[in-house]
Amino acid sequence: MKFSAERAARKWPCGRTGAAMATAAVVLLSVGVPSGPAAARRVEPFPWGSLFGVNKPRPRKSVRSTVLLPVSVPLPKPRPAEAPARPVAEKPPLAPNAPTSPPGDKPAEQATAPAPPPPSACRLALTEAIAIAPSIPDIHGAGGCGGEDLVRLEAVVLPDKRQVALKPAATLRCAMASEIADWVRTDIAPLTTSLGSAISVLDNFDSFECRGRNRVVGAPLSEHGRANALDVRAFKLANGQSISLTDRNVPREVRENVLHSVCERFTTVLGPGSDGYHEDHIHLDLMQRHNNYKICQWYVWDAMPQIAPLLPVERPEEAPPREVAAKSDAAKPERPPSDGGKPDAAKSDSAAPEPPATKPAKKKRRQTGAF
């Protein structure tokens, strides 16, 4: 049974006004139809059935009105940004009643939810029982500087509630701040306690800074520029003692202990002997590399001797010359007739105009200095 305004005009002999009345009647009827709860439930999804002729055929105008109504009514579902758990809990009871609930309230609710991003798992885990680390706004600087999910790490809270202050406070990504906090709580606090006093301060030499690696202009962005690195210089203890990590006079065992703990946790550790830029502090970061490759370069130097030796240990007679090993091999048959290795020594020194007696000693000295 088809029903339209044109047909109505044809059937009803009262002309244009009659047709208009018929149309109005049809519209009223059709608007009235879905107001019942049962009908509303049928309309809840988009009324594709009406479009494809599955449902009862209706005048075109009423079809348009039923299309418009559901579009404005069931949309206001998406407010999951506010609370992740809530939609799960409320969805089942809401689903059957949603279409019958007052449609006017929901669009307003939707408009007032501009969806702040939910806190990260790291942020949720880094509670005040672990660290004083308030969140700070994301940083989007030039050249990729900055990051998201940033915190200002002001202090690490030890299991016994005492606080280890970072001086100054460090700007870090949450993941890095969390690793630092765990490191201090788990590794460093027990270590300093074993030394006779509790750790009270972590000496922050540098954290977030938008710059190239090693402050070299044009170098790749440092992890400091991504708020993913911390330079540590020393620990301060409650008894006033300061333990500098790069001080040769700090017991070697203590420095080695720290070395092992940081290389276990962080993906980059640079200290004395690494590249010349880290002689007075230890660089720590969580840079992600292919195959989880890690860099751990920190040479724990021995303490300097109380009295510097006047001369280096003499080079052993049997040690082969370094740069001219091939030449010395060729010269070996000549050695027995002449006196020892002196001709070889003269050859190796030919590049430098120094007396053969002092030259090997100088080379030896430089070599020992490198390790």
| Only segment of 85-93, 278-286, 302-310, 330-338 that touches Zn ion (CB under 5 A) | 278-286
Site for Zn ion in 29-58 (CB under 5 A): none
| Only segment of 51-59, 171-179, 207-215, 283-291 that touches Zn ion (CB under 5 A) | 283-291
Q: Which residues contact 303 (CB under 8 A, 6 or more apart)?
A: 248, 249, 252
Three-point CA angle 142, 144, 148, nearest 5°: 110
Q: Which of 179, 203, 231, 349 binds Zn ion (CB under 5 A)?
A: 231
* Minimal distance, residue 206 CB to Zn ion, in Å: 6
* Minimal distance, residue 237 CB to Zn ion, in Å: 24
Kind of pairing between the strands at 282-285 and 229-237: antiparallel
- Cα distance between the two ends of the chain: 99
* Minimal distance, residue 277 CB to Zn ion, in Å: 8
* Minimal distance, residue 257 CB to Zn ion, in Å: 21
The DSSP call for residue 221 is B
* Closest CB to Zn ion: residue number: 283
* Closest to Zn ion by CB, 255 or 283: 283
**Integer Cα distance of 108 and 178 in angstroms:** 39
With the C-alpha atoms ordered 100, 105, 111, 112, is the resulting torsion angle positive or negative?
negative
For residue 15, give both structure tokens: 């002309």
Number of residues that bind Zn ion (CB under 5 A): 2
Nearest to 267 by CA among 290, 242, 292, 231: 292
* Closest to Zn ion by CB, 158 or 229: 229
* Closest to Zn ion by CB, 231 or 349: 231
Q: Please name the helix (run of DSSP H) or strand (run of DSSP E) that holds residue 214, with its range, or none.
A: none
Q: Which of 106, 226, 236, 283 binds Zn ion (CB under 5 A)?
A: 283
* Closest to Zn ion by CB, 58 or 283: 283
| Only segment of 66-74, 91-99, 226-234, 316-324 that touches Zn ion (CB under 5 A) | 226-234
Kind of pairing between the strands at 150-157 and 163-173: antiparallel
**Integer Cα distance of 321 and 331 in angstroms:** 12
How many CB atoms lie under 10 A from the CB of residue 136?
Answer: 14
* Closest to Zn ion by CB, 8 or 269: 269
**Integer Cα distance of 215 and 88 in angstroms:** 50
| Only segment of 107-115, 225-233, 258-266, 298-306 that touches Zn ion (CB under 5 A) | 225-233
Nearest to 247 by CA among 268, 262, 232, 260: 232
* Closest to Zn ion by CB, 158 or 202: 202
The binding track of 173-212 with respect to Zn ion, each residue x by CB under 5 A or -, is ----------------------------------------
* Closest to Zn ion by CB, 73 or 230: 230
Q: Residue 151 — left, alpha, or beta (φ > 0 → left; ψ -120 to 50 → alpha)?
A: beta
* Closest to Zn ion by CB, 179 or 344: 179
* Minimal distance, residue 229 CB to Zn ion, in Å: 5
Binding site for Zn ion (CB under 5 A): 231, 283
